Structures are given as C-alpha cells and as structure tokens.
Structure 1
Amino acid sequence: MLLKNQVAIITGGAGLNGLGFATARLMAEQGAKVAILDLEAADPAGAAARLGEGHLGLVADVTDKASCDAAAAQVYAHFGRIDTLVNNAGITQPVKTLEITGADYDRILNVSLRGTLYMSQAVLPTLRAQQSGSIICISSVSAQRGGGILGGPHYSAAKAGVLGLARAMAREFGPENIRVNCITPGLIGTDIIKGKLTEEKKTEIAETIPLARLGRADDIAGACVFLASPLSTYCTGITLDVNGGMLIH
C-alpha cells in the first residue's frame, strides 16, 4: 500500500460524489488514516464513517483561520502526525465579469484561495517539525485557459491564485522536505455539474477532449495518491494536468 501509516487531511471532502471523498476513499484503500474536513451541513463525520474504522470527520470552515488551526490540532491530537493535506475545498459560480459583485468575489476567493492559505498555515508547523510532508492544492484548468465551462472569471482568478501560492510555498518549504504541488482538473462529472449541463452538452464537450470523455472523481483521486506517496518524492512546485487532454500546452 502506497500510503501505509500516513495521515491525510482532505478539505471539502464530505460530498459523496465529489473529488474530495473519492480521494479520501482511495487514500484509505492505500493505507492512510484520513481526516475529512467540511461544513457541518455536509456531515464530515458521516462521510468518514463510510471509509471504515479509524478515520475522522471534523466540522471546519476553511475561510476561518481559527477553525483551520483547531481542526489541524484535533487531527494531530488524534493521530499523532500529519503527512498530507489536500486543499480541495472550493466553490464556483457561472457568471460573467460585469455580473460579479464584491460579495461574489469575496465568497469565491475566500474558499478557494484564502482557504488554501489558512489550511496550509495550519499544518505547516507540524510538517516542519517532522521535516516531511506533502501539500496538494486543487486548482482548475480554468486557471490555465482563462475561464471554464461553469466557473466565472473570479473562479479562474481564485484558482490561478492557488497555482501561484502553491509554487511560492514549494520554494519556501522545499529545504525542509515539504512538497507542495497542484492538480488542475478538467471537467469532472461530479455534483458540481449536476443539473447544469444536458446530456447532449456533455457529449458535445467530450468530443472536444482527446480522451473522448469527461473526467471522473477517481481520476483526480489517483493523482492525489501519487503526489502524497513516495512515488513523487522528487516532485514539488509542479502543476499536474488531469484533464484528458482538454488543454495541451
């Protein structure tokens, strides 16, 4: 097993059809103890219970620094170490530039970008003390191509910010054997697109992708396991495209 005896935190991981839960499930299958962090309404404890015994679900709000610090402290108190953080929490909004309000902008950036910073800050003291660790940040192909199918410009900006933040942290903490990498998913068939695209539109989009299908949550989970595992010990500051060839550059 690739992650035996490791402890992984996954934010925004309670949605059973989402990227976070798929990642939690695969990491657990690979031997990790997993802590799922999410809002109370998402029931992170219930999601963690679905992974089997020995996992943890905690209520946390990634936009609140004190909440992030408290969650990281609880994970450390429970498991005695932290090896991997997956900054997965994020929200989207399909609006155009002139429609974005200040409240919209704050809401999108607070979850995706501020949340990535706050959770990284929360685990970094432990990773530094261990002189090891992996932080995985979920960005988006939208950050690379200047917009997506469902996300507005503020979503693209937030996810582009995640790329820059991750690279800066990779430079800063590399000497302490802490790796920081990004994954840029393409269009993934999760609840985030449910009811927003017709089957005809999905087929039309799939025909433009070299691998001729939309992504699956497990596609992203596999990339996360790779970046958390010893298979990627010489990878830091990278952007791993998982988009079926939607963006080839």
Structure 2
Amino acid sequence: MTGTAIITGAASERGIGRALAERLAPAGWHLGLLDVDPAVEDVAAELAARHGIAARGAAADVADPEAVHAAVSGFERDLAPIGALVNIAGISSPVPLLETDLATWERVLRINATGTFVMCKRIVPGLVERGYGRVVNLGSTAAQNGGGTYSKSTYAASKGAIEGFSRGLALEVAPNGVTVNVVAPATIDTDIMGGRITEDRKPAFLAQLPVGRLGTTREVAALVEFLVGADAGYITGATYNINGGIRIG
C-alpha cells in the first residue's frame, strides 16, 4: 500500500523533506507537502507533472492547529487516503543555555516538538480508523549527545521530546496497524546547520565524523522511504541513527 504521504518541511531545495518527496514520487506515492514557505506549492506541482502523481502543497505553520487542519483537509479532499506522515519541519539553535532566552527556547520547542504533536494529532486518528499507517518523525543525534558542532541544548531538548513522544505514540497505536519510528541524523549537508556548510566551515564538522564526510539528504530519504513502506510493518518505537559513526550504539 502507498496512498498519500504527508511530508512537512518540503520546500527547501537542499532539505531532507524535498529529497524525500523526490524519492517517493517516482515510487508511486501521492504527496501532500507542507512548509511555511509558499514555494511548497510549486514544488508539489512540479513533482506531479514530472512523475504523473497527484501532489498538493500548502503553506502552513506546523505548530498552528488551525492552519494544519485546513491544509490536511485539502489533502484529504483532493488526494488518495493518507498512508504515511513524515515530520521533518524544524529549526536549530546554536546558542548555549547561558545565552539563551525564553523566546528562543519556546520557538525551537514550538516548531520542532509541538509541530510534530500537532501533525500527529490531526493525521494519526485517520490512520488508526483505517487500520494502517506509517509515521516517521525526525529526531537528531543531538538528542543523544546533548548537542553537536552547531546545535546546543535547546535543540537537543526539542529532539529528545520528539523521541520520547514517538515511543509513547508507537505503543498507543501499534494494535491499530500504525507504526511510529524516529530517524536521527547527525551532520547532513543541509541549510539547517546555520546555512550551507562551506569549505571553511567543513573541517569543524568533519572532525567529529569517523566516516570522514557529510551525510546527504538522499541517504536520509532512503531510510525514511523504507520505514514508510510495507516491509517495515514489524518495526515500531525504534530510533534509527544515521550519523556517520559519530555515535555508536
């Protein structure tokens, strides 16, 4: 079963959400794409034309329940039944705790953790009702290591919340044929790391990576594609690290 995959954070040309959409479209998935950037509508239209699928894009703040409800209602009206939800939309923060204000903390937690909750709250009931579904939430090695080269404690906390939430939700919906898993990348070559990782910035990132290179959005998308597929039905409540060896175990 494929049906429609809902992907958040799908507008950025160099992002994981866009890479996943590019991977699922030729595999026959229909797509409902969300992003705060209205360009997501053009992304959906281009993928639909190129791959002969149905795809719709909607500009929405994933932490705004009303905006999410309106966007998802449009997807439900225009697309095949939803079979998968992938929560990728998020922001980082390089600010250490001693320099972080409450507004920064709340913004990062709101988009990353609350956004994941809002999306799941809107879509998972339909998956449960239909007796089938896949949910993949984007975590981070930062949640396990307490941060990273760029991200610090606030980001780590937001991703830790996602991981705990995902495990709890996995237990709740497992009897209904719905799986919930986390993909936890480390240093992936996207713009969330404070913009493009230029040649002068690269050594600081590579120094931590045993594989000696940055990860790619395509590699993360390939893992997510497996987890939303039919063959992953016996996997739930798991965290899949994709981190170039920065954390083993």
Aligned to 1:71: 71
> Between Structure 1 and Structure 2, how many residues are aligned?
245
Counterpart Cα distance in 1 of 2:120 and 2:195: 33
Offset, 1:206: 2.5
**Is the CA contact (8 Å cut-off) linking 2:206 and 2:213 kept in structure 1?**
yes
**Is the CA contact (8 Å cut-off) linking 2:88 and 2:138 kept in structure 1?**
yes
For structure 1, the 5+ residue unaligned runs are none
Q: Structure 2 vs 1, CA of residues 100 and 204 (structure 1 numbering), >3 Å: closer, same or farther?
A: closer
Aligned to 1:192: 192
Offset, 1:204: 4.8
Counterpart Cα distance in 2 of 1:113 and 1:182: 13
Matches within 5 A, 1:46-61: 46-53=42-49, 54-61=54-61
Percentage of identical aligned residues: 34
Offset, 1:6: 2.0
Aligned to 1:43: 39
Aligned to 1:33: 30
Q: Which residue identity lines up with residue 84 of structure 2 in the other structure?
A: T
Aligned to 1:123: 123
Counterpart Cα distance in 2 of 1:91 and 1:195: 12
Counterpart Cα distance in 1 of 2:163 and 2:231: 22
Counterpart Cα distance in 2 of 1:96 and 1:196: 21
Matches within 5 A, 1:1-249: 5-39=2-36, 41-53=37-49, 54-193=54-193, 195=195, 197-249=197-249
Counterpart Cα distance in 2 of 1:176 and 1:78: 25
**Is the CA contact (8 Å cut-off) linking 1:207 and 1:213 kept in structure 2?**
no
Counterpart Cα distance in 2 of 1:45 and 1:228: 23
Classify the secondary structure of the residue corresponding to 1:213. Answer: coil
Counterpart Cα distance in 1 of 2:13 and 2:104: 26
Query: Where do 4+ consecutive residues of structure 1 move more than 4 Å?
Result: 194-198
Q: So what's the TM-score if we normalise by structure 2? A: 0.93
Aligned-residue CA RMSD in angstroms?
1.5
Q: Which residue identity lines up with residue 25 of structure 2 in the other structure?
A: A
**Is the CA contact (8 Å cut-off) linking 2:189 and 2:196 kept in structure 1?**
no
After superposition, the C-alpha distances for 1:152-181 in whole angstroms (9 at most, x for unaligned) are: 211100000000000000000001011000
Q: So what's the TM-score if we normalise by structure 1? A: 0.93
**Is the CA contact (8 Å cut-off) linking 2:4 and 2:31 kept in structure 1?**
yes
